[in-house]
Structure 1
Amino acid sequence: MKELETKTVAEMVTENIKTAHIFKKHGIDFCCGGGISLQKACDKYNANFDQLVTDLEEVDKTDSRATNYNSWELDFLTDHVINVHHSYVEENIPLLLQYADRVAEVHGHHYTELLEIKELVKEVAGELSAHMKKEELILFPFIKKMVKAKKEGSGLPDAHFGTVDNPIKMMEVEHEEAGEAFRKIAGLSSNYNPPQGACNTYRAFYAKLDEFEQDLHQHIHLENNILFPKSLQLEKELRNK
């Protein structure tokens, strides 16, 4: 119990990705705001610490090696992020935009929050598209070059952006912006709970937003809490060769 009090949320999710669902259930941000202790997170998000610990311990009993992203090679992890999370975003953004337009058009006169949600979805869609391209074309290829250099025993590859910390900081700022947009959407939508009697499209829109946010949280966690810190450490090792 004492150890869990001081362990950070990000550390818990890094050790076992399944705990992400527990933090989500308790309303605790584990990606952008994961650098605080469990006790502080409970205080901040008004969650019950004892219940959180109980739930986390239950997850621990069914831990699986398949979810231990922290043990993966960085080049493999970048491919996973692209193939799983970037693909998910690319596939689901058009659907979210269609839902947002349709639901706002039909119900926006009565439920005015839908108009704001529509604008936030459009904003996030554009930002994430540009964000992922920067990762795929600039940051991730450089991380792969560093992994290759370490395996071959060579030095740090050249980079036009200076240190890898520069693009990483930019990505982290953009993660925070996307996370903030979804915090607003969650608030406007009563945590994705449609009003009583809502049509199927309305309900499907909110369900897809909820699913999208959960994927985004895991996506950001893998980068902010595993890929980026390890990339910074790898650059440091190569520079000191």
Structure 2
Amino acid sequence: MSADYLNTALGDLARTIPGATAVFHANRLDFCCQGHRTLADAAAKKGISATDVIVQLEALKPGVSDARDWQQASSAELVEHILARFHMRHREQLPELMRLARRVEQVHGDRPDCPNGLADHLSCMAQEMESHMLKEEQILFPLLLQGQQAIAGGPISVMRYEHEQHGEALDEIIRLTDDITPPVGACNTWQALYRGLEEFRQDLMQHIHLENNILFASSPRATGYACCSKG
């Protein structure tokens, strides 16, 4: 089984092993935008031990996860879940994160470990994500729900490409915040900001995973990871 894990794409592992996404989050492995990479390749690029990750995956107990297996859901159910759990949530998260980031930069901007530029980065990210989500809500999701997968292939390719851009934006958050790690002596606002950023990071990765690896997989023109192959 370990050899199979090594040579299996992260997106496939995330889709088929309950609890795998938590392991990938803990090891900072991108199973959504870079889900085409095998575990062996992804671990090597991250500079971590693939064997350690496999041990964590094999320690997962079958049947203990209360997360729904979205592969068994209809497209309508999955779209409804994405809209309620992620689209609505991101629209709540980003304004608050921007507010907290601006406060931290205003008060602690002279500190070398302050994430200066984070608020502006989150503002740009919010605009890009809002445009992306509207395209899904107004164009792509209706096509999928009407069973027009062939017509949806083009929009899906665009969405996959924009997902990759979201992944790059998350990488910039990681860079600005020392891997979302609050410094010693960080005030309550700073700590709240970083807790919110980590929640947002995990939510966005799960959001993209459900779309790239499950919802979009039914389109014959959108299978694979053609638009997430950089790096």
TM-score under structure 2 normalisation? 0.89
Q: Give the 4+ runs in structure 1 shifted more than 6 A.
A: none
Task: Tell me what 1:82 maps to.
Answer: 83
Cα distance in structure 1, aligned partners of 2:65 and 2:189: 36
Query: Per-residue deviation at 1:123?
Result: 0.9
Deviation track 1:135-170 (CA, whole Å, cap 9, x = no partner) reads 111110111111xxxxxxxxx59xxxx831211111
Structure 1 residues 65 and 189: CA distance shift in structure 2, 3 A: closer
8 Å CA contact 1:20, 1:30 repeated in 2: yes
Structure 1: 5+ residue stretches without partners: 147-155, 237-241
Following the alignment from structure 2 to structure 1, what is the Cα–Cα distance between the partners of residues 74 and 189? 41
- 2:113–2:183 Cα contact (<8 Å) kept: no
Once the two structures are overlaid, the 10-residue window that deviates more, 128-137 or 213-222, is: 128-137
**In the alignment, what sits opposite 2:167?**
179
SS in structure 1 opposite 2:146?
helix
User: Comparing both structures, which one devotes a greater share of its residues to helix?
Assistant: 1
Q: Note if contact 1:107-1:114 (Cα within 8 Å) is conserved in structure 2.
A: no
Provide the residue aligned with 2:118 in structure 1.
117
Looking at structure 2, the residues matched to 113 and 172 of structure 1 have their Cα atoms a distance apart, in angstroms, of 32
Give the letter for the 2:44 counterpart.
D
Aligned length: 222
Structure 2 residue ranges without an equivalent (≥5): 224-231
Aligned: 1:199 with 2:187: yes
* Contact 2:10–2:31 under 8 Å retained in 1: yes
Q: Which residue of 2 aligns with 1:223?
A: 211
| Identity between Structure 1 and Structure 2 (%) | 33
1:184–1:71 distance in 2 versus 1, CA, 3 Å: same
CA displacement 1:193-225 (0-9 Å, x = unmatched): 111111100110011011100000000000011
Separation (CA, whole Å) in 2 of partners of 1:72 and 1:170: 24
Deviation (angstroms), 1:113: 5.1
Partner of 1:3: 4
Matches within 5 A, 1:1-241: 1-64=2-65, 66-111=67-112, 114-146=115-147, 156=148, 163-230=151-218, 232-233=219-220
TM-score, with length taken from structure 1: 0.85
User: Are the structure 2 counterparts of residues 85 and 17 from structure 1 closer, same or farther at C-alpha, using a change threshold of 3 Å?
Assistant: farther
2:18·2:62 contact (CA, 8 Å) conserved in 1? no
Query: What code does the residue aligned with 1:76 have?
Result: E
CA distance in 2, matches of 1:17, 1:104: 39
1:61-105 superposed Cα distances (whole Å, 9 cap, x missing partner):
345474311111111111110010111101111211111111111
- Is this contact kept in 2: 1:131–1:174, CA < 8 A? yes
1:2–1:127 CA distance, 2 compared to 1 (3 A): same
Q: Which residue does the alignment assign to 1:153?
A: none
